[in-house]
């Protein structure tokens, strides 16, 4: 697929791409894909680290920009850059202590993003790829999957800050002519994943019985390899300019189906038992775990047909292949660091 991308948009030559959030698991995979295609890559870092240390590939030129916000100086990092892939963000904070969480999300995700985009336009950057979130569409679907044309219904500070950033980016594009591409992924999984997905891997690996067999939902996911493949296509594909794309693997799964697939990838037996969903929800409320329960029990599906039609994109890996890659990474990590298991 990567070779197809190069043929479609022309050889990368000396094109330089600035990647923010380069030490995250999506950032690392994005950088690896860009390097493999022959692009020159710069990494925007909060603090200085050694290139080749494992956090950033030795072929990458690092630029320290400090904290991302409304006053960040991007000038040096943007010099002679043709495209930006903006991955850095303030994501969900489990133990939120900010007196005004929305203001904190806006500072990084909205004002920080628009500061970068405005300076990128002034620096002559041709394309700006922004990784947003499906949460801009909403938290749950009932029947029909989300589409790009649906009215946005962001809920919560994180989603609101991302939606406001999207709106600001489109205004900058209209004012400057810089090409904006917005991707809204659902849950991303793959080597390096954390959060609830990693916790689920741990539960399955340990053989912990899970009361989730009665759940009848549908959720769209996107494997890391599939997401990066689309983002790579968005960097220079002519038809991507000015577009918003929902992205998913193309096979929606219920929570029990996902656990069964994960168990297979881990070479474990899934240990699921039935439990009434209303009681599960009530128990989650008592434990203050409403959000986690909503994700396990609710449905959220997306239609990624637009990317397939407009960009001729097809996910290069199946769900099972992406889960196998994730499981192999997790097993390597737990063998090296037994305390993780």
Nearest alpha-carbon partner for 307 in 264, 263, 236, 247: 247
Cβ atoms of 29 and 228 closer than 8 Å: yes
What length does the chain have?
341
The residue with tokens 């099972």 is 320
Q: Which of 105, 130, 158, 330 is catalytic?
A: 158
39 a catalytic residue:
no
d(CA 178, CA 144): 33
Phi, psi of 98 (to 5 degrees): -65, 135
d(CA 140, CA 226): 22
- Give how far Cα 24 sits from Cα of 110, 191, 246, 269, 294, Å: 19, 11, 21, 31, 26
Cβ atoms of 222 and 185 closer than 8 Å: yes
d(CA 250, CA 245): 14
d(CA 220, CA 115): 32
Q: Which two tokens stand for residue 219?
A: 């959720």
DSSP letter for 79, please.
T
The residue with tokens 């996911």 is 221
Cβ atoms of 120 and 84 closer than 8 Å: yes
Region for 52 from its dihedrals, namely left if φ exceeds 0, alpha if ψ lies in -120 to 50, beta otherwise: left
Q: Catalogue the active-site residues.
A: 158
């Amino acid at each position: 697929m990567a070779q197809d991308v190069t043929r479609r948009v022309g050889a990368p030559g000396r094109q330089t791409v600035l990647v923010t959030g380069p030490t995250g698991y999506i950032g690392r995979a994005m950088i690896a894909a860009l390097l493999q295609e022959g692009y020159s890559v710069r990494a925007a870092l909060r603090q200085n680290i050694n290139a080749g240390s494992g956090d950033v590939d030795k072929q990458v030129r690092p630029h320290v920009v400090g904290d991302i916000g409304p006053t960040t100086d991007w000038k040096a990092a943007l010099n002679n850059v043709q495209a930006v892939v903006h991955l850095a963000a303030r994501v969900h904070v489990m133990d939120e202590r900010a007196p005004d969480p929305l203001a904190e999300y806006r500072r990084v995700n909205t004002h920080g993003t628009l500061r970068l985009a405005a300076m990128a336009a002034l620096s002559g950057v041709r394309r700006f790829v922004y990784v947003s979130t499906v949460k801009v569409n909403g938290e749950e679907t009932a029947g029909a999957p989300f589409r790009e044309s649906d009215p946005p219904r962001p809920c919560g500070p994180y989603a609101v800050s991302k939606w406001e950033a999207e709106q600001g980016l489109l205004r900058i594009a209209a004012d400057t002519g810089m090409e904006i591409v917005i991707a809204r992924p659902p849950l991303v999984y793959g080597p390096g994943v954390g959060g609830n997905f990693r916790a689920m891997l741990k539960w399955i690996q340990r053989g912990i019985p899970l009361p989730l067999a009665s759940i009848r939902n549908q959720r769209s996911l996107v494997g890391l390899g599939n997401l990066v493949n689309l983002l790579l296509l968005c960097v220079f594909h002519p038809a991507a300019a000015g577009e918003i794309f929902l992205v998913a693997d193309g096979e929606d799964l219920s929570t029990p189906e996902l656990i069964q697939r994960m168990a297979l990838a881990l070479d474990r037996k899934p240990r699921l038992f039935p439990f009434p969903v209303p009681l599960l929800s009530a128990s989650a409320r008592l434990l203050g775990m409403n959000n986690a329960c909503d994700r396990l029990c609710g449905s959220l599906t997306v239609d990624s047909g637009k990317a397939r039609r407009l960009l001729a994109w097809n996910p290069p890996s199946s769900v099972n292949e992406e889960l196998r890659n994730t499981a192999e990474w997790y097993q390597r990590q737990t063998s090296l660091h037994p305390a993780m298991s």
